[in-house]
Amino acid sequence: MSLDLSTRCLGLTLANPLVAGAGPLTANLDTIRALEDAGAGAIVLRSLFEEQITGRELGAAKHLYGHAPSAEAQSWFPDVDAFALGPDEYLEHVQRARAAVRVPVIGSLNGTTRGGWVHYARLIEEAGASALELNLYDVPTDPAADSIAVEDRLLGLVRDVRAAISIPLSVKLSPFFSSLPAFVRELEHAGANGIVLFNRFYQPDIDLEALELQRTLRLSDSSELPLRLRWLAVLSPITPLSLQASGGVHHGRDALKALMAGAHAVQLVSALLQRGPGHLAQVLTEMREWLLEHEYDSIETLRGSMNLKRCPDPAHYERSNYMALLGSWQ
Ligand SMILES: Cc1cc2nc3c(=O)[nH]c(=O)nc-3n(C[C@H](O)[C@H](O)[C@H](O)COP(=O)(O)O)c2cc1C
């Protein structure tokens, strides 16, 4: 039986739904090539941060790149000095990555405020990116900024980026919105073509003896997937946007679940840092075997089959099952 693993995402046809997500492996041309060789359907480059362009304090970027990786990931962390890669070097990186591989290369901008820095969206398009991912990694701390103000600011940024580019635009989101479905609809009106669910928030710990905050970057595991599954399942019947899962995809079965919940593609970062780029081939094999065993002939027939509208027991995704669940505790 023939099996069609291709998927449409952000208006692009991907040979399969496995996307190498933004992170250290996509900051390096050798690992980018290795990711393509292992079967990546697309590659998201690590982000260019608003702070790198404006010269302000590097907030989120420091969490992601400003410390030694855990022992498990050490061998696969390429030697990346993220801060040596200024905005111009980033544009060169986009060009080189585009020339190095045949799969779509997605640029990534990471920021939260409107401003002149947004013109880098156009420069990333001109450097050859097939699409742009805008990461809205935002940590509101000002009680004077209510949820409407926060959402208006983020939507304004999305509109500005949309106006600057003509390539597809996806928006990487936090799970923390009062009404995610309503915000996603607003993103659609602002010109987004897709969303990525979700950012992981990097939580500082407290060192009790030194009385200092400790930066911790724990890689994910599959236990982070169900948060994504729920919201993919809720959103996929009600939005025309391309949906990508990010967070907790480590094995073939994780990818299959996300696709069933409604994802068009899934991104992997921690799994590839832990096991190396070649792990993508293993994930693809696991998916292929399961799909053939269960007589699926394409990703399209699988996609959304367990979303809120199509699963046999939608209450599990909703509040209605909440009391029953608590009662089932042994
Ligand atoms: C070391 C590291 C660096 C990352 N750098 C970026 C980045 O530059 N831009 C971005 O949008 N996400 C970045 N991420 C977040 C990942 O793209 C991804 O959303 C997150 O790790 C969850 O996926 P995972 O469970 O597959 O790791 C980074 C993650 C890690 C672990």
Query: What is the C-alpha separation between 150 and 176, in angstroms, rounded?
Result: 12
Q: What is the pLDDT of residue 203?
A: 85
Q: What is the pLDDT of residue 81?
A: 56
Query: What is the C-alpha separation between 99 and 328, in angstroms, rounded?
Result: 55
200 lines ligand 1 (CB under 6 A): yes
Q: What is the pLDDT of residue 70?
A: 58
* Residue to mutate (ligand 1; options 108, 133, 228, 269; most atoms within 8 A of CB): 269
Residues of the chain below pLDDT 70: 56-85, 320
**What ranges make up the beta strands (E) of the chain?**
7-9, 12-14, 18-20, 42-44, 48-49, 105-110, 131-135, 169-173, 194-197, 205-207, 212-214, 242-246, 265-268
Nearest 10 degrees: CA dihedral of 297, 300, 303, 306?
A: -60
CA 76 distance to own-chain centroid: 19
Can you tell me whether residue 171 is helix, strand or coil?
strand
Can you tell me whether residue 261 is helix, strand or coil?
helix
Q: Are 271 and 279 in contact (CB under 8 A)?
A: yes
Distance 127 CA to ligand 1 centre (A): 22
Q: What is the number of other CB atoms lying within 10 angstroms of the CB of residue 15?
A: 17
Distance 146 CA to ligand 1 centre (A): 27
249 lines ligand 1 (CB under 6 A): yes
| Residue 133 Cα: closest atom of ligand 1 | 11
Report which protein residue has its CA nearest ligand 1's atom 6: 23
107 lines ligand 1 (CB under 6 A): no
Q: What is the pLDDT of residue 62?
A: 57
DSSP state of 226: H
Distance 299 CA to ligand 1 centre (A): 25
Report the DSSP pairing between strands 205-207 and 212-214.
antiparallel
| Residue 44 Cα: closest atom of ligand 1 | 17
Distance 166 CA to ligand 1 centre (A): 25
Could you report the per-residue pLDDT of 107-161, keeping only the tens digit for each? Answer: 999 999 999 999 999 999 999 999 999 999 998 999 999 999 999 999 999 999 9
Report which protein residue has its CA nearest ligand 1's atom 4: 23
Q: What is the pLDDT of residue 215?
A: 83
Q: Which residues contact 215 (CB under 8 A, 6 or more apart)?
A: 62, 63, 66, 67, 202, 204
Long-range contacts from 139-143, C-beta under 8 angstroms, 24+ separation = 139/201
198-224: b (≥16 Cβ within 10 Å) or e: bbbeeeeeeeeeeeeeeeebebbebeb
Q: Which of 177, 167, 97 is nearest to 134 (CA)?
A: 167
Backbone torsions φ then ψ of 199, nearest 5 degrees: -65, 145
Distance 106 CA to ligand 1 centre (A): 14
Q: Are 157 and 112 in contact (CB under 8 A)?
A: yes
Query: What is the C-alpha separation between 53 and 63, in angstroms, rounded?
Result: 17
Distance 44 CA to ligand 1 centre (A): 10
Which two structure tokens, joined as six digits, stand for 42?
């697309």
Q: What is the number of other CB atoms lying within 10 angstroms of the CB of residue 180?
A: 18
23 lines ligand 1 (CB under 6 A): yes
* Per-domain boundaries in the chain: 7-327
Distance 295 CA to ligand 1 centre (A): 34
18 lines ligand 1 (CB under 6 A): no
* Residue to mutate (ligand 1; options 64, 93, 133, 283; most atoms within 8 A of CB): 64
275 lines ligand 1 (CB under 6 A): no
CATH class, range 7-327: alpha beta
Query: What is the C-alpha separation between 14 and 9, in angstroms, rounded?
Result: 7
Q: What is the pLDDT of residue 181?
A: 97
Distance 296 CA to ligand 1 centre (A): 31
pTM of the full structure: 0.93
Q: What is the pLDDT of residue 216?
A: 81
